[in-house]
Amino acid sequence: MDFAQVVKKRFMCRSYQDRDVPDEVLERILDLAVRFPSAGHTQPQEFIVVRNGNTKYWLAWAALDQFFIAEALVVIAVVSDTRRSKARYSERGEKFYSIVDGAFAALLVLLATVNEGLGAAFVGAFDDDEVNCWACHKPCGRLALSRSASARSLHESCRGFPRSKSSTTSGGETGTWGGGHELEAGNL
């Protein structure tokens, strides 16, 4: 698909078919996503792929009850290791550049997903403490991943085959990419 078609076909998909997203499709999406631009080439973003139903449900709850997240067969969380930006740019890197870089990365995930013929939705509204607890492996009585304490979850993006355009609005099961740590499939 050419770039103009990809941009024009992008929409916020909130209803998905019960069809698995093949691993090779996810690999192609993530291969493009890791090419996001970043301030000073600090590359603070990592991508966490979640397929486990319990984890997706918990993320949907932490995303202020946006339960279409749990319906998606795959969720990709864009997480920023703010230490990378902070080391080069101090507080501005931690509080600003890492967030802008995360937005670039999330947009590439969305566009790469559309290019694969899938639907996706960007989710930026969530309880920071709950999602950061999940991303940083801090004890909180919730599911957790093995992440560094400086990781900050920025965006969740779900994807799958859309049920129909009318259900949308215009506009071993896990891993990480972008320098991330390997995750234990049983935790997700």
Q: Return the higher-pLDDT residue of 142 and 119.
A: 119
Residues near 100 by Cβ (< 8 Å), separated by ≥ 6? 39
Give me the pLDDT at residue 41, please: 87
* Proportion of the chain above pLDDT 70, given as a percent: 71
What angle separates helix 98-115 from helix 82-92, to the nearest 10 degrees? 130
**In which band, very low, low, confident or very high, does the pLDDT at 25 lie, cut at 50, 70 and 90?**
very high
* Contact call for residues 163 and 15 (beta carbons, < 8 A): yes
Q: How far is CA 18 from CA 25, 58, 122, 159, in A?
A: 16, 19, 19, 11
- Provide the whole-model pTM: 0.73
Cβ atoms within 10 A of the Cβ of 94, count? 20
Q: What is the C-alpha separation between 59 and 145, in angstroms, rounded?
A: 12
Residue range 119-123: average pLDDT? 87
Residues present in the chain in total: 188
Give me the pLDDT at residue 3, please: 93
pLDDT tens digits, one per residue of 123-140:
888 777 777 665 554 333
Residue 14 has pLDDT above 90, yes or no: no
Domains delineated in the chain: 16-163 (3.40.109.10)
